[in-house]
Amino acid sequence: MSFGLYSAGFAIVIIGLAYAAHLVRMPMHWIVVGAIVMIGIGILSGVKATRQRDSTD
């Protein structure tokens, strides 16, 4: 559940940044590239933040 919340929050940040880039008339191909990079960073950091540690017995 926490990964879903993390992903939803990161998606809102990406949408906001893409909209801001659109408002300053940044070329669309750079907005798409930035969004793809941010999605990758979001997945990596979300998995890192929400993964369960293995118990050592």
> Mind listing the pLDDT tens digit for each residue in 17-32?
999 999 999 999 999 9
pTM over 0.95: no
Report pLDDT for 26: 96
More confident residue, 56 or 13: 13
Tokens 């992903």, residue located: 7
Residue among 54, 55, 19, 51 nearest 35 (CA): 19
- Residue pair 7/42 in contact (Cβ under 8 Å)? The answer is yes
Q: How many CB atoms lie within 10 A of CB 46?
A: 18
Residue type, 41: I
Report pLDDT for 52: 75
Domain ranges of the chain: 21-45
